[in-house]
Structure 1
């Protein structure tokens, strides 16, 4: 073999001839282990090749001898084409895991050990290990692929969720069967939420997956001020109906029995409206941290002078923390004085935050709400909840080691005790002012109560503390695992009876769905597509309003042969009128299609008429249009109403009867191009589902009868959340 000749300008190195002198090994593994160990000691990475590479540097050769049943190592080329490495970090081959290390990563991953803890364990067992955190991530990916070999991404994902005993729901695109939304939660998380249902924090995060799907995190708070995850939702888009689906999934997992007192979100309008619909009795607050970040970013673009900027930040903080409305007005005047030369910032604060949402983050209004000090949606997930409970039960802080607090020792969280102690120390220092903030916001004794008990030499009673702070256990009145009273005999009987009545093609579809439910590894759900944008509603630029907000008459589209009705979605909301010109008065008397079908007394109140396609899905198209969706999203309305029936089975069973409820469900369960008569929208029964599902007031107009439907489980929404559909036979 020709010896290595260094190229021009390169330097040759030879420091391994003695170490790699001819040696004999009993086995191939011993040979490889010794070579790798010696190579690293010298600062070189030794790789195995079956073919000679010219100019590669140090070259050794192993040869097996049948006579001696051994391996012999010999040096072919002693010359290195580079100097030895001082550190092995960064070398791809050196960072590889051995077989034993790979098995250890698999075992620790199965026990939910975090990647950085796995890496620390590897380095403790092998000080020469130079793997990085990315090495662990790559190994976990390889392990996952090995476990789900032969499965698609979605089959593997759903199988993992079922194996982990997660409760999960998902929705797919009815045309492409691509995954659109995925909700999942663990029964243990729901049990903790049952113990602490008072506060719910919600925030979306991004860049968590290659599909660019937003991840909505739902988080709760314990009495020791630690947070815990309630549920996660991967969403197709950040729109109202996506958020409503996610929140309804969360609500249905608890049978609709839990309702948080306070919900904290950022200013995501679609999420805020969904919260009002699904949890109408909960108070909503905006996250101050997100507000401050937005305000600072917007204001810094205009305010460049440091002295003005510092003054602005100080005044803005004072405004947010204003304790009374009078203080708020005073701080607002001072802030506007600073922003006299910055009208853009001043208008931004007024239009975006203060005019509509001040009651959701300014202390003068939020301090009247029992939110237990949660005014941001920032999260710090922990797993030491039980330890924090025991810590509160077994320790007495010297600050509260007095008779006044003796009845509270070990019965409320230390966080609550510290807040009471701070208030008491403030009173002893001479500041006895009391706005009852501690009582109204935290449910704890405030200054005047503390003074009263102190002067009377009495101890604070335990019932003066809100039950939230007295909860030092994860037990709850409802046992999630007590399922003895849950059975499906009636449902199975109804399904079996209706299954026999279905045509052959429908039977195959039902059986396929059942098999996928029982065995997710066989699901036909496809990976979601990668989206460029997920925020906001579709643009309305391509749908200009004409003729005083009423669509111009168009030719009737082709209709199903069985359809003799037209569905019109009407919205009685205020719409900005287009610019008027000299011929506007004549246009006002224009005879629009279908307008004459309505009583003239209603004409002044009709702001928009939208005629939808009549393909048997027209009723659902009309509802989609009224809810702000495109009429082609009619399938989403069908899915939502089916979920409404499934979620509140007992309620609608009592209302309609079990058999008719199932018939109504079957009428909704159709997603073909043209719906037959039996799958049209059934009024009045579907009207109850629509009003309850979307928490709206639904008006149905027709010549035979006009009906109004109210939601079943909440108070009627305001007037601007009403929708109207009209059903007019073309020939009567």
Structure 2
């Protein structure tokens, strides 16, 4: 039972009772659903020195699992017999080294382009002084063919990979109006499949969440940078409002996490939290629906609906419906739903922190909410 994610890494390195306590805390995390961060209380972390529900949630979202470094040494101490005073504590560095070697083996078996990319990242981390390269001087006295003024660019590595994934063996690109052709079909909530009218898979370069935003609101997923800046500026421009969502002292950390213009990104700058959807709903005056399935088929998490936190003068309701789905733990795709489809629960943060200008907006969707409750019951 304890060999399963997220306890697999600490199985055999902490006591059986510790594993049982963490297993119960994981079940509590699922019961708290989308309100895990605001209702966790973090008592387990304070009283037992163990990861609490919200920490377990974050480790699952990041697909890392739990590490022994997160466990107090009390739970890693083995004492047998009387008079044994020297505890044997698991060496965290050994665990990290084993994990790193497993990643190296995985990279070595990957595509050569992936190996080159990972090699570059590691080299930049270990030898930052080697990366200060200057642009070459332009030779204006050229001969031969005239300069081509075509503004079209070559596809990036991630675009090639994404295209190859959809066109292996000469297969045509999947029809976005046919949900049965979606490669992530088994990762979407099964009761919602009849209500999905179309889908779109964006490039999986770490910007995928923001690409979905850009594709829907700007009509071009390659404007992901503009989507990031729009969201970051919305948060920075209404600090008092968004501090209620992100927590005191955490607002600017999230703004800096959203702002990124360096191309493909790692975990630090990905869209990984539901809180990012609040400024999207507010700035674009949209109903934002996030669909996903938890670790077990009956756990429809993080299926949630987010409404604007405030309204501009004269606006009485959201004007658009933006649907995003979490698939595979770290990738997002965009969906379209048929009119008047079931609506997942409205975020508790919206109920608690919205401004008076949007009072009662949730009441307009009671029928759709009832449909959802009947669907997943």
TM-score range (shorter-chain normalised) is 0.3 to 0.5
- Taking structure 2 as the reference length, the TM-score comes to 0.36
**Structure of higher CA gyration radius:** 1
- Taking structure 1 as the reference length, the TM-score comes to 0.19
**Larger fraction in helix:** 2
